[in-house]
A and B are shown apart, each in its own frame.
Chain A
Amino acid sequence: MAAFDHFGDMYDVALKPRLLNTLITDHLPTVDHPFSNPSELSKVVSLIKTHSLLSEDVTDSFESKQIKAWKSSVTSWVDRVLLLLSSHSPDKRWAGISLLGVTCEECNSDRFQESYTVWFQKLLTSLQSPEDSHLVRVAACASISDLLARLSGFPKFKKDGSASAVKVVQPVLKMLHDDNSEVVWEAAIHVICTLITSFPFSIQRHYDSVESAIAVKLVSGGCSHDMMKKLAHCLALLPKSKGDEESWSVMLQKILILINDQLNLKFEGLEEEYIRKEFNGLLILPGKQPPPPLGGYASTKEASDNTTKRSKQSRTSSVSTLMSSCCMLLTNAYQVKVNVPVRLLLVLVERILMVNGALPEMSLPFMTARQQENICSELPVLHTCSLELLTAIIKATGSQLLPHAASIVRLITKYFKTCELPEIRIKVYSVAKILLISMGVGMALCLSKEVVDNAIADLSTLEKKNVSMPNGSNTDVSPAALQPASNRKRKHSSTNGSLQENEAGGVLGVQVPKKCRVAPISLRIAALEALEALITVAGSLKSEQWRSKVDSLLIAIAMDSFREGSPSEEINVFQKKDPAATATDLQLAALRALLASFLSASRPPYLSQGLELFRRGKQQTGTKLAEFCAHAMLTLEVLIHPRALPLVDYVPPNNDTFRETQFSYRDEYVSRNKNSQFGFPQAEPPASRENLLTDYLANGDDEMGRLWTENTKETKESSEVATPLPSSADNQERSEMVPETATCADVEMRSVDNETTFKSDHPGESVPCQTSIPTVIDIHSGAATDIEPERIVSDSTLPHNEANNSDLASVSKSPVQTSDTNLVQQFAFKKFGDSVDDEYEPFPEIVDGDPDSDSGSE
């Protein structure tokens, strides 16, 4: 066409047919020419996907010419692909089949509906042709599975699709039986999985043969690990094709029976008889017929013949595969509710976990060291699998785990004590973490000790290192340095804390030599995560025994993680099998746990250090750490500036209560601190404010009130200020008082007006008059509580009790009625005697200051 027929931009529709045509002419193999460059195909596919060249996604706004062009080029693409598919050369056929699969995935749904029958036939014939090479078969399987997957998206073709899908089953099963290439098996398994999920009816008729085909492969154990995983997955999916409760249970039971058979062989003489009996008793309930063995009798016999021939290694892998199949059965979604034999599964888990390779006395003569060696080499894999099964059980049952939770806790507790391999410990930690998060507070009460003890043991290597390093001294000093500060506020609890601190140090000191080797990073991460979960769930629930230990440990680890380049860790990174867990991950885990510890503590002791760490972490631009630290800063900001906003904007009915509530909200921060166990986490105030706060707390709430009223005073008019706030009164009291004070205010207003006119002449004298009432109150409360002079400023203090109240009432009336301010002052000073003298000096200047500014604004 035209060489200069330009189009708009990369989003222009005109580009698509052009590009597609270019792909067809330049990059697709033709029937006649040899297929020189197969790797170009992946480029073609990626271009098609990024530009969605086959989608024919047109809207009405496009010109019909463009639409037509696109349509014709897609048609020519399909033609070319079909041509390739029927070519004689295997590589071109492979290309054709694969590209047809891509076309099924990518093409417009109208086109798909029109032509899927033709495509299906073509693919089916290439699937059935026996002499093709493996690659072609794999491609055929993949493409047919893609076609069926796409087809399942059209509800109206459900029936038609099922009819077609049935035709696929036989050839695929044949491939599983006859072929000996794992690549082909894998593709065949994929087709079966697609059939199960998309067209379950097609599988139903062949249910047993599919089951046996998979079972034979599974049990004979001649496949790679990946292949086994896929087989297990397919086996777990299989009951879905029937979709009833029965077939799920039967499948699980069959698998468990198979596992049982193999374990019986393996654990001969290694396990206690009772647990085997218990398992068997639960496996086949008395009076019930066991289901036929997995995959039918013949195949298992053949398989077991195979297994006896094969090395023991393969048998383990088949047990572990079968167990992972159980896990998938438990965790995959299922159409209907199922009956999970939780008890049976738990006994299985326990049965495996309790075998540690030690020979009981009586079976010593029956087993050679070689046999024992074999078992012991396999045990870690089995233990890992059974812990995975445990996780699956917890996930599957969710809230219904409750009746079994106690036995799980006992199992975990028992196993934690003996388990030493890092990989398995990681799994145990993760189980503990899941339990804590899912079962909440109740679980934390049971599990906290175990998690804390083990985590401290695993993490304590770091502690030790810290002590020896000069850099770490900082960390060690910090708890001691912080302790006195908090001592003043919560004498009782913090002395406890410091005691525990020492104890904790002692405990750590004892534990360090026992576990002298450094725990691998991944294990430490798992321990930190478990601690984080524990703190999250029950950071302050009956946690006195471990809380301070854990807090100091966490800050130590977090600070340690910021020390640059600790060489042992660097080496560790290279030594480790799992390259994923690095020092950075450890750092992240440590900070996460630290954040949790800050948030859950009523008074986080290391907040300032922690904030510093988060600030530093945030500077590491572009890392996960920085992301998390930013989040942590945001979270902690609320801790530093606590705000308890009401969900509802609370509109008070009258002014007085409004002030009171406002006061309350403001005051909440302090009150929380005072109550300290109450609700929200509390911030650690900066050290300079410490004393101040402690004083407030010691003196009760009146000072707070004064502080607050001082702050809000500016907003009020002076006359209002003069009225005493009846905020301490209860409802009745208030209703009595409000009118009274109101009249007082009225009267006073007048008097103030008089005064102001007067004031211009005699400013010095008039000022005390205005503030006479507050003055009295101030003195009164100042006398009651001994505080710094500048705190007394507030005019409207809250009276202590009713006795004082009545006092005040009488006092406040007198100046208003008499307007004799001097008298009032004298009266007041006389009344409150000696303590007033102390306050006398600072007092007048403060009073001078405020009303002056007020009257200035008037």
Chain B
Amino acid sequence: MVVVLASSSDAGGGIGSWDLHTGTEQIRYKSLSSPGHGLVSVGDRFLASSQLRDAATSSGSVFFWSWSKPQVEVKSFPAEPITPLAANHSGTYLVGGGLSGEIYLWEVETGKLLKKWHGHNTAVTCLVFSEDDSLLISGFKNGSVRVWSLLMIFDDVRRREASQIYEYSFSDHTLCVNDVVIGSGGCNAIIVSASDDRTCKVWSLSNGMLQRNIVFPSKIKAIALDPAEHVFYTGSEDGKIFIVALNTTKIATNNHVSYIVDSFSNHSKAVTCLAYSASDNFLISGSEDGIVRVWNASTHNIIRVFKHAKGPITNIIVVRPENDSSNHMSSNLQAASKKKGAQFPPLEKYANSIDGHSDTKTIVSLGDSDRCMDASYLSSHVISSYSKELQNQGSAAASEMEIEKLKSDYQKSVQMVNQWKKMYENLHQFCVKELVDENKK
């Protein structure tokens, strides 16, 4: 089951979920209002979202939901309000960006705040992991985009030595970065960033160069990358979704707009978020008017419309919940899944670095315990390996067996001899008797 999840900035609007194929609404997870990029599926195991509370509180909040229950499973309150959240693909780490520009990295399993580092002087607006989870790309409110190597972040020695701890810092955007996506292709991947300065910029990961600058007629709020990276879609403030060709060259000099292949729109209001469902080539857009629209990416027709909230949609994610089958199947499984959700402790507020051993242990799950072990049968192997020995009577074991056999043979022979002896004696006696009897006669 492919599920579309959408959150809005409405207070109490919750997080709606719809089955993408049938269009039926699933569970509505109870939440406060979620900021943009604050909704993430952690390794398809559970749902996490940062929450905006009233401005009075100084701490932020991040909520976890298990797939099967609308109630918040775990609430955690980081040191400062967190807006963007990102999880690595296996769902072992959760990264959050603070309003102050700090970036926090938690271990999901233990809730430990493993690292906290200063990203920039302005608020972090979006965070995204690279394909191999080794890099983290962050966008900031002042328009800069930074690429971090997590290895570097964890390497205290090198961090002290290095002049800067980021791999790249792109500062070509002049206004707030609204969305950042990274394509596939390992080190050859491209990073596309969208900004309020009405541009999208394409960066090369391999050399950190600006590859392309695309100017739009209005502010760009969201990007979705076509999985084949042929085009990308941008959602703009004027309600249009632009299709931008990635593979073309610039068609005319000094005319950047020519990258834009096409645009389509059915939004009266700004497009706030975009997602691409690779399994059926659907483009899903969320709008400021609180409606989620599913488009056929090739025909640009609207396939489904989900009315979610009154306020703007802030996040759309397409997920395949891990234990969705447990909802309908045995209660046993469901219990297990409940346990699973409760397993994760809340995220810690501060790094626990007083004792140096906070990172000595790592909780991991070793393999899949459900994997059925192939029963290994041994007897036929025993037969084939030992029958030859027996035949040749070569080894000690075989000769031992031979001895046993001889022993029993010997016993048998002894018995036989005894029998014969007895027979002989009987015969002898008989004969003697006969003779004696004859003599007597």
Contacts A101-B378, A403-B114, A647-B230 given; indicate if A731 touches B383 (C-beta within 8 A): no
With A and B bound together, what is the CA distance between A646 and B233 in angstroms? 13
CB distance from B411 to the nearest CB of A (A): 10
Residues from chain A with a CB closer than 8 A to the CB of B378 are 101, 142-143, 145-146, 187, 190
Known: A657-B262, A705-B251. A645 touches B228 (CB 8 A): yes
Q: Check: B362 CB closer than 8 A to any chain A CB.
A: yes
Contact of B297 among A100, A648, A727 (CB under 8 A): A648
List, in ascending order, chain A residues with CB within 8 A of B250's CB. Answer: 671, 701
Closest to A649 in B: B298
Kindly state the separation between the CA atoms of A798 and B255 in the bound complex, as whole angstroms. Answer: 12
Q: Are B387 and A102 in contact (CB under 8 A)?
A: no
Chain A hits for B207, CB < 8 A: 540, 542, 677
B261 part of interface (Cβ distance < 8 Å)? yes
List B contacts of A646 (CB < 8 A): 226, 228, 230-231
* Max chain B Cβ within 10 angstroms of own Cβ: one of A152, A647, A799: A647
A342 cross-chain contacts in B, Cβ below 8 A: 359-362
- Please judge, given known A-B contacts A330-B366, A678-B204, whether A441 and B132 are in contact too, CB under 8 Å: yes
Closest to A341 in B: B361
* A88 with B408, Cβ < 8 A, contacts A282-B360, A402-B154, A648-B281 known: yes
Question: What 1/0 mask marks residues of chain A from 647 to 664 whose CB sits below 8 Å from any chain B CB?
Answer: 111111100010011011
The residue of chain A having its C-beta at the shortest distance from the C-beta of B245 within the complex is: A664
Say yes or no for B440: interface residue by CB 8 A criterion: no
Contact A661 B371 (CB under 8 A): no
Q: Tell me the residues in window 73-120 of chain B with beta carbons closer than 8 Å to chain A beta carbons.
A: 88-90, 92-93, 107, 109, 114-115
Q: Report if A399-B297 is in contact (Cβ < 8 Å); known contacts: A343-B359, A406-B155, A445-B167.
A: no
Interfacial residues of chain B within 201-248, with CB under 8 A of chain A in the complex: 204-207, 209, 211, 217, 226-231, 243, 245-248
B247 touches A668 (CB 8 A): yes
A675 at the B interface (CB under 8 A): yes
Please tell me if the beta carbons of A397 and B247 are within 8 angstroms of each other in the complex.
Answer: no
Report chain B residues within 8 Å CB of A369: none
Assess the A101–B230 pair: CB atoms within 8 A.
no
Given the known interface contacts A396-B366, A442-B135, the answer about A341 and B360 at a Cβ–Cβ threshold of 8 Å is: yes
Q: With A340-B363, A400-B107 as given contacts, are A409 and B151 in contact (CB-CB < 8 Å)?
A: yes
Give the distance in Å from the alpha carbon of A220 to the alpha carbon of B268 in the complex. 80
Q: With the chains together, A441 CA to B391 CA distance in Å? A: 59
- For B380, the chain A residues whose CB sits under 8 A away are 45, 49, 98, 101-102, 105
- Are A42 and B384 in contact (CB-based, < 8 A)? yes
User: In whole angstroms, how far apart are the Cα atoms of A679 and B202 in the complex?
Assistant: 11
A462 to chain B, nearest CB (A): 27
Residues of A within 8 A of B185 (CB): 679
B88, B377, B400: the one contacting A133 at CB < 8 Å is: B400
In the complex, A246→B205 CA distance in Å? 44
B55 interface residue per 8 A CB criterion: no
**Which residues of A336-387 have CB atoms within 8 Å of chain B's CB atoms?**
336-344
Q: Are A94 and B107 in contact (CB under 8 A)?
A: no
B377 and A101 contact, CB distance less than 8 A = yes
Binary flags per residue of B336-361, CB closer than 8 Å to A gives 1, else 0 = 00000000000000000000010111
Q: Does any Cβ of A come within 8 Å of B56's Cβ?
A: no
- Asked whether any CB of chain B lies closer than 8 Å to the CB of A333, the reply is yes
**Closest partner residue, chain A, to B91 (CB atom):** A399
Residues of A near B361 (CB, < 8 A) are 339-343
Do A146 and B247 touch (CB < 8 A)?
no
A348 to chain B, nearest CB (A): 13
Q: Is B379 an interface residue (CB 8 A)?
A: yes
Selecting from B25-33, B186-194, B286-294, the interface stretch reads B186-194
- Shortest Cβ gap from A53 to chain B (Å): 13
Residue from A142, A190, A541, A798 in contact with B205 in the complex, judged by beta carbons closer than 8 Å: A541
> Across the interface, do A667 and B248 meet the contact criterion of CB distance under 8 Å?
yes
Asked if A404 lies at the interface with its beta carbon under 8 angstroms from chain B, I say yes
The number of inter-chain residue pairs (CB within 8 angstroms) is: 357
- Taking CB atoms, residues of chain B closer than 8 Å to A335 are 369
Partner of B359, one of A404, A660, A665: A404
Interface residues of B in 364-399 (CB under 8 A from A): 364-369, 371, 373, 375-384, 386-388, 390-391, 397-398
- Give the distance to chain B from A78, nearest Cβ to Cβ, in Å: 14
- Tell whether B69 is near chain A: CB-to-CB under 8 Å: no
Within 8 A of B (CB), among A142-159: 142-143, 145-146, 149-150, 152-153
> In the complex, A388 Cα to B206 Cα: how many Å?
32
- Within residues 400 to 455 of chain A, which ones have a CB less than 8 A from any CB in chain B? 400-406, 409-410, 439-446
| B134→A443 contact, CB < 8 A | yes
Is B252 in the interface zone, CB < 8 Å from A?
Answer: yes
Contact A440 B251 (CB under 8 A): no
Q: A494 to B273, alpha carbons, bound, how many Å? A: 43
Q: Given A91-B405, A333-B369, A340-B364 in contact, is the A39-B387 Cβ separation under 8 Å?
A: yes
Shortest B392–chain A CB gap in Å is 9
Residues in A whose Cβ lies below 8 Å from that of B262 = 652-653, 657
Q: How far is the CA of A332 from the CA of B135 in the complex (A)?
A: 29
Choose among B155, B183, B382 the residue that contacts A142 (Cβ–Cβ < 8 A): B382
Chain B interface bracket (under 10, 10 to 19, 20 to 34, 35 or more) = 35 or more
Q: Which of A37, A98, A671 contacts B382 (CB 8 A)?
A: A98
**Is B334 engaged at the interface, CB distance under 8 Å to the other chain?**
no
With a cutoff of 8 Å between Cβ atoms, the chain A residues found around residue B252 in the complex are 701, 728-729, 798-801
Q: What mask results when residues 796 to 825 of chain A are scored 1 for a CB within 8 Å of chain B, else 0?
A: 001111000000000000000000000000
CA distance A328 to B173 in the complex (A): 51
B59 is an interface residue with CB less than 8 A from chain A? no
- A90 to B405 alpha-carbon distance, docked (Å): 6
What A residues does B157 contact at CB under 8 A?
A: 406, 410
Check: A538 CB closer than 8 A to any chain B CB.
Answer: yes
- Which residues on B sit within 8 Å (CB–CB) of A183? 397
Q: Mark B42-71, 1 if CB is under 8 A from A, else 0.
A: 000000000000000000000000000000
A541, B187: Cβ atoms closer than 8 Å: yes
Contact present for A679 and B188 (CB under 8 Å): yes
Q: A146-B379, A152-B375, A664-B249 are in contact. Are A135 and B386 (CB under 8 A)?
A: yes
Q: Which residues of B contact A800 (CB under 8 A)?
A: 252-253
Q: Are A333 and B227 in contact (CB under 8 A)?
A: no
Tell me whether B397 and A133 are in contact (CB under 8 A): yes
CA distance A206 to B262 in the complex (A): 72
Say yes or no for A600: interface residue by CB 8 A criterion. yes
- In this complex, what residue of A is CB-closest to B107? A400
Determine if A789 is an interface residue (Cβ-Cβ < 8 Å).
Answer: no
Q: Knowing A183-B397, A337-B109 touch, does A657 contact B261 (C-beta < 8 A)? A: yes
- Asked if B323 CB lies within 8 Å of chain A CBs, one says no
Q: Is A82 an interface residue (CB 8 A)?
A: no
In the complex formed, the residue of A with least CB distance to B391 is: A39
Q: How far is the CA of A94 from the CA of B385 in the complex (A)?
A: 13
Whether B383 contacts A42 by the Cβ 8 Å rule is: yes
The answer on a CB contact under 8 Å between A149 and B364 is: no
A664 to B130, CA, bound (A): 28
8 Å CB contact of B154 from A135, A406, A729: A406
Q: Does B332 contact A (CB under 8 A)?
A: no
Beyond contacts A89-B405, A343-B361, A403-B154: 14 other A-B pairs, Cβ-Cβ < 8 A, are A39-B387, A91-B401, A135-B398, A138-B386, A194-B376, A330-B366, A333-B366, A343-B359, A400-B364, A405-B151, A440-B135, A674-B249, A728-B252, A800-B252
Q: Which residues of A contact B (CB under 8 A)?
A: 37-42, 45, 49, 88-91, 94, 98-102, 104-105, 133-136, 138-139, 142-143, 145-146, 149-150, 152-153, 181, 183, 187, 190, 194, 197-198, 282, 285, 330-344, 396-406, 409-410, 439-446, 536-542, 600, 644-653, 657, 660-661, 663-665, 667-668, 670-672, 674-675, 677-681, 700-701, 704-705, 727-731, 798-801
20 contacts between A and B (CB under 8 A): A38-B387, A39-B391, A94-B390, A98-B380, A101-B379, A136-B401, A143-B378, A149-B375, A149-B377, A335-B369, A336-B365, A398-B92, A399-B133, A439-B134, A441-B135, A441-B187, A442-B149, A650-B261, A657-B262, A665-B247
Please name the 6 residue pairs, one residue from A and one from B, whose CB atoms are nearest each other, closest first. A101-B379, A440-B132, A333-B367, A671-B249, A442-B134, A406-B155
